[in-house]
Structure 1
């Protein structure tokens, strides 16, 4: 795992200062503490920070082929590189190293841009082709590894793994994009089709971008997409057998490393499944680690311990306090853009614990998106059944009225908090799902915004991308459409951003076997009944894992990492909330009504309302704005 950055002049082959490229890659030195390299030629400069995982002695980058007609800087892992290498050797290619980086160079020489279809892995790379005077930027199918780029005033395109790599270039203008602020407040993260710094773009998951000297900056091209348009016709037993084989192979491929390797173990279905399959493959005890909390209702260590004993893993547990808000500034520094998924705090801690003994850790990310494991997926299915019973006009009038008049009872048990349910039932399925995956609903955001900010936004609304993605999805069922939107927006924007930044912050490589694209394609073809059955999501996966895991692990309620942010803003962070409403960087922008911010903080502290997540978002936005724009 590594960090990459570089410069490519589109217009003419101007000289590139190696020191400038060096400053860009050094901005995220923690992504690659084992080495650094810079390569320049007229009109191009490539930089690399290395975290050594494969071929520790021979994998230095940027790497060139024998005649230096191709040069690559690369972040990630090609898990099937040995198989591709054997095929290339059969075609006459000769290799000088044992690294997957060199496989990229030879695969490109053999197959051109079609080589990317042969790669199974997580990757972001930039490959300079001297013969065509072009730079090819590539990102993996699901967006596990990030890649940012922007065109600056001298005509060059700059790129890097993280936003801070681009910010190290003196010609990048630091101006906020207000549309990204709307996106962040709605969703809790800045999605891949937006950036808080105006003019910066993120190469999308499954996309490539070919920069050619003498031509203008083009739009990216898509080489892969997930499709829910087809249905598997095999019987459940056969599907279960196929799924087990795919999971086993995905785990096996990700256990190849020349450094110590382990796994995160929460005691939930996903990480426990990964550990079970690792134990089946490994000749040694699997190294596992768990973060526990000193609050019984949040702690899952007993379940993790049960799984660790079952598979005789080399298990380590660390108990931390949920009151870990001291990491706020660390989070802001590593995410660059505002990021409000509070589970980033314990994710950082479990990565920190893993890094004490391993350099690579396997995680369970991806199963909820692939196999419909979120509670919102079940709610969406039920809501669509209700919508199908009533004409849209009647439904809108009835449930819209109920939603408007029903009190917002944050303090009440969940079953009595019907206001949001009524509002969602009044809308189309896509509008309702967009609302369910958001944090701050549109009507509350409108109350927060100043008139000037509303005018600056124009017609931009964060939820529209979700609605449009669902309406245009290659899908057959409403559940398909919801999962497709999750995979395109939520997964790369939130889950994978969190895992990448928090693991890289401690120089740890995280690998996600359940995000193997073959698994994702298989899951997308499953009948709905094999994804959600009764009140259970991930149905087929749980059935497949019954041979490995006990029912109390497979069928218990999902917990996940929980942080008590509502409590923080009634206690130790109450002063922070008040400060954001006062003279903070956010307050000085004129985007948010200071009276509305102050009222939200006051109502939350007094217990009138639960604005914990909103206050967390405002605080993280303020931290990000301060770091980026001063």
Structure 2
């Protein structure tokens, strides 16, 4: 993958200073340390930082069509590159490189924005059409590659800035870093920031499966910007799902789709490795990749310094079965804490999931060993109901099977009472349920984290968010969702909120590309998704506890049964009180009364109180879990604010835009 950035004069007249576009590129040099490239034309300036993986010697960007009327800068990979290239060559197109980027200008010539229907992979794209004075910005179907944009007034003109990371936009100096408090509310609702909201005022994330169609203005007409959808997740109507003809036939089809997906993601002009956690997802990817290659591929494993969280025994079983020896790195509470500031800088948002620190260290180790590409198992839980909230909702639905009892509602009320948790405003709860077209297991679990904001937000923040429903901001296709099986509705929300908001952001692209490592996701293949979307939910979740049922049957063909049928273990790094005891001074500075008052996000008295009283709560209690996550959220938000907004909160490093002279 790479990094891209750009500045567009919406009037189509002016070109920005070269120092500005070069500063934007320099801000994301970690995404592409191999080389840079720039495009300047009336009204536009594009930049690319390249991490060379395909077409090592001749892939310098921008890349043009034959008459140079169409240009592109590109971040990502097209895994069906050779097939699409052959089709274009049969239509008379002439290619001058061996790089997959060159597909874009030729596809655009034939199909305009319809080119996106012909691309499979992971990508962020910028296309310049000189004849039509038109720019297309596009993001892949699942949001694997990030792409941000901002519309600003600067030096008497209206401009649109874009970049693979927010750092590129801020480095322009054309927009000031200010917090978007509704973005912070999204974090405390979804455990991440799924977009289009970001935590920075005026900066938006282009949503997965979307593109911006930008028509530059002229003396005769005004500029136009349209956000359009070219792809979205979809499921069959309830009762139309595929049930057979047999479980074996479904597993056979799944096997073919996964092997094809893994094989495509092994294509590169550099060596490919894999992450290996010991869970069924990454283990299957390693096993399939090794089968395709005919030899075990190198793998990397994290060893958590906590017996309850360590999965290396399972990873070792898989490695021995395949015939490989994983490279292991050790991660404990100290490593998580020491890496946390770097994680926040990389993610450009507060990060509550401390396992992201471990993954940042893992990518650093991959880079240290000289590798650029790693396979990973993310996406399986989203498509095959692998998360705890699916079990919670399944149990709640089961206990409600007796008409009139509404036992699950009684259970929720009892939970709120016994944990002394703040209560959700019922009207807001109903708005969230309506946005998701009905009760959703996601809401049951994530309310646990959301409750923390009722304890910890300042009165000003609560006043701002009290009538706001973040679920409505997800722009869910609620009418369409009503026709789906309830489990598929859950999978959609999980894919929309959790996948792009956390897994592919702070837990994916950002932590990997911070060390110039591209991560590839065999489960996040459009063909794999389309197949699994049609499969009846009974083959995804069996009974009350049988998550990822179809995947486990497939894994039985490649892995020891002890791994294939191992109970789901959420990958977590240790954070139990890591920010409370024997902490470095900057933690106390960030959580001091003075710093908390400066940012204004949190209630000073409540933060100080719960830092002291946290350990009095029973370790098994959900209320403690909620407060624990909430306090990590407070620390992460304060650290993010110091890093990007106000550098006076603590004696610690912060991000600075590069200076180009």
What TM-score results when the alignment is normalised by the length of structure 2? 0.88
- Verify the 8 A CA contact 1:247 1:514 in the aligned structure 2: yes
Residue 328 of structure 1 pairs with residue 340 of structure 2: yes
Q: Which residue of 2 aligns with 1:305?
A: 316
Instruction: After superposition, give the CA deviation of every residue in 1:370-429 in whole Å (9 maximum; x if it has no partner).
Output: 11111211221221233453559x6697456534432459xxxxxxxxx9xxxx99x965
* Aligned pairs (5 A) from 1:340-379: 340-355=352-367, 356-379=369-392
Instruction: After superposition, give the CA deviation of every residue in 1:256-310 in whole Å (9 maximum; x if it has no partner).
Output: 1111211111111011111111111114431111111232222111211221122
* Aligned pairs (5 A) from 1:148-159: 148-153=148-153, 154-159=157-162
Aligned partner (choices 436, 443, 465) of residue 434 of structure 1: 443
**CA drift at 1:204:** 0.4
Aligned partner (choices 254, 262, 276) of residue 265 of structure 2: 254
**CA drift at 1:581:** 3.9
Q: Which residue of 2 aligns with 1:612?
A: 628
Aligned partner (choices 568, 574, 577) of residue 578 of structure 2: 568
Does 602-611 or 518-527 show the bigger shift? 602-611
Does 509-518 or 449-458 show the bigger shift? 449-458
Q: Which residue of 1 aligns with 2:657?
A: none
- Verify the 8 A CA contact 1:289 1:316 in the aligned structure 2: yes
Q: Structure 2: how far apart are the matches of 1:439 and 1:28?
A: 36
Give the 3 Å change call, closer, same or farther, for CA 304–592 of structure 1 in structure 2. Answer: same
**CA drift at 1:531:** 0.2
Residue 533 of structure 1 pairs with residue 542 of structure 2: yes
- Verify the 8 A CA contact 1:294 1:321 in the aligned structure 2: yes
Does 320-329 or 101-110 show the bigger shift? 320-329
Give the 3 Å change call, closer, same or farther, for CA 34–438 of structure 1 in structure 2. Answer: farther
Q: Structure 2: how far apart are the matches of 1:83 and 1:292?
A: 40
**CA drift at 1:612:** 2.2
Residue 546 of structure 1 pairs with residue 556 of structure 2: yes
Aligned pair count? 615
Q: Structure 2: how far apart are the matches of 1:432 and 1:88?
A: 46
Secondary structure in structure 2 of the residue aligned to 1:249: helix
Give the 3 Å change call, closer, same or farther, for CA 592–433 of structure 1 in structure 2. Answer: same
* Aligned pairs (5 A) from 1:448-597: 448-457=456-465, 459-465=467-473, 473=481, 475-497=483-505, 498-534=507-543, 535-573=545-583, 578-583=588-593, 585-597=595-607
Instruction: After superposition, give the CA deviation of every residue in 1:448-503 in whole Å (9 maximum; x if it has no partner).
Output: 33333233335213345569666752652211111100111110011000210010
Residue 316 of structure 1 pairs with residue 327 of structure 2: yes
Give the 3 Å change call, closer, same or farther, for CA 571–333 of structure 1 in structure 2. Answer: same
Q: Structure 2: how far apart are the matches of 1:53 and 1:345?
A: 25
Q: Which residue of 2 aligns with 1:126?
A: 126
Q: Which residue of 1 aligns with 2:649?
A: none
Q: Structure 2: how far apart are the matches of 1:439 and 1:130?
A: 51
Listed as ranges, the gaps of 5+ residues in structure 1 are 410-418
**CA drift at 1:550:** 1.1
Q: Structure 2: how far apart are the matches of 1:228 and 1:578?
A: 48
Does 470-479 or 379-388 show the bigger shift? 470-479
Q: Which residue of 2 aligns with 1:241?
A: 252
**CA drift at 1:121:** 0.2
Q: Which residue of 1 aligns with 2:87?
A: 87
**CA drift at 1:38:** 1.1
Secondary structure in structure 1 of the residue aligned to 2:277: coil
**CA drift at 1:575:** 6.5
Q: Structure 1: how far apart are the matches of 2:289 and 2:482?
A: 34
- Verify the 8 A CA contact 1:323 1:564 in the aligned structure 2: no
Residue 218 of structure 1 pairs with residue 225 of structure 2: yes
Q: Structure 2: how far apart are the matches of 1:219 and 1:390?
A: 48
**CA drift at 1:326:** 0.3
Q: Structure 2: how far apart are the matches of 1:182 and 1:468?
A: 18
Secondary structure in structure 2 of the residue aligned to 1:543: helix
Secondary structure in structure 1 of the residue aligned to 2:547: coil
- Verify the 8 A CA contact 1:434 1:467 in the aligned structure 2: no
- Verify the 8 A CA contact 2:440 2:489 in the aligned structure 1: no
Does 225-234 or 548-557 show the bigger shift? 225-234
Q: Structure 2: how far apart are the matches of 1:284 and 1:433?
A: 40
Q: Which residue of 1 aligns with 2:414?
A: 402
Q: Structure 2: how far apart are the matches of 1:395 and 1:547?
A: 40
Q: Structure 2: how far apart are the matches of 1:274 and 1:474?
A: 34
Instruction: After superposition, give the CA deviation of every residue in 1:237-269 in whole Å (9 maximum; x if it has no partner).
Output: 211111000000000001111112111111110
Q: Which residue of 1 aligns with 2:64?
A: 64
Kindly report the root-mean-square deviation, in angstroms, between the aligned alpha carbons of the 2 structures: 2.5
Q: Which residue of 2 aligns with 1:415?
A: none
Aligned partner (choices 279, 299, 302) of residue 288 of structure 1: 299
Q: Structure 1: how far apart are the matches of 2:474 and 2:54?
A: 38
Q: Structure 2: how far apart are the matches of 1:552 and 1:484?
A: 30
- Verify the 8 A CA contact 1:570 1:604 in the aligned structure 2: no
